Amino acid sequence: MKRGRRTLVKFFKLVPKPLVWRFAKGYIAGARLEDAVRTVRALNGEGCRATVDVLGEDVADEREVQKFVDAYRRTIEAIVREGLDANVSIKPSAMGLKIDPALALRAAGDVVRAAGKHGMFVRIDMEDSSTVDATFDLYARLRAEGNENVGVVLQAMLRRTLADAARLAAEGANVRLVKGIYVEPRPVAFGEFDAVRQSYARLAELLLAAPRGYTAIATHDEWLTVEARHAAARLGAGRDRFEFQMLLGVDPLLRRTLVAEGYGMRVYVPFGAGWHGYSIRRLVENPRVAGHVARAALGLGPKTE
């Protein structure tokens, strides 16, 4: 399974960018901030909140880090100016985590404080397993500086996550729970679909059972949304203690169904020039769309039923 995902990642990196964009554009608001604003406004009209992300990661130059900080400042200002129901998320590697953790703390702190002036929340995204400890440390340091408007992400596919979730639940943290999409070695992560799904359900229940904190159930797996709803009802976790989250362009029918049932829904809205790496991960995660792109890249016609 993981070998196949690695092969797909390598393959799609060789596919011409215009072809990748043709299939990936449904998952991305666009290249400009105005595109994100327009997308969030439409989602707000459907009863959804949003999390806006400036696409880009693995920054290797301190000057590029500052460009991301500035881009987030503009994004926060636009959200406030336009009266949108949205917050922002940041990738640690875009804040310079792989250059210097101290740099990442300064950069992320600038974004968190800029958002905090407007009562806006900031989610620190979780990247591959090699960055997990450094990301938790970044989160802890931001909290220690008095920033209460910041939360973190847990990946159900990682074997370590149960212990991490227990610690964060005890702290009353604001946590987004995802399955995880990075290609990880078997000793670090569960490799089978059912194992990841069971891990997710167990983690959701642990977080919802905590006496305080907030949980974002981020999944497009309808079975898991049902399990989370049942767990919340059984544990007495009110709808003010959790929300569902989904990616832009993925299963809008399930999204609208959950909204119609009165559940909080937040949609991840990425935008910006750094769309390519994000798009490849989305393609690898979606075998049906990936198959179409692969056939087109190889000069084959559409697959017939």
- CB neighbours of residue 194 within 10 Å: 8
Specify whether the CB–CB gap between 228 and 207 falls below 8 A: no
Closest among 173, 191, 170 to 182, alpha carbons compared: 191
Start-end of H helices in the chain: 2-14, 17-24, 33-45, 62-81, 101-116, 132-144, 161-171, 193-209, 222-235, 252-260, 275-285, 287-297
**In b/e form, how buried is each residue of 2-40, taking b as 16+ CB within 10 angstroms?**
eeebeebbebbeebeeeebeebbeebbbbbebeebbebb
Residues whose CB is less than 8 angstroms from the CB of residue 151 and which lie 6 or more positions away in sequence, other chains included: 121, 122, 123, 124, 139, 173, 174, 175, 176, 214, 216
Active-site residue, selected from the candidate residues 176, 241, 255, 282: 176
Instruction: Tell me whether residue 282 is one of the annotated catalytic residues.
Output: no
Q: From the candidates 53, 125, 164, 221, give the one annotated as an active-site residue.
A: 125
186 is catalytic: no
Look up residue 24 and give its two tokens: 């990936």
Which residues are marked as active site? 125, 176
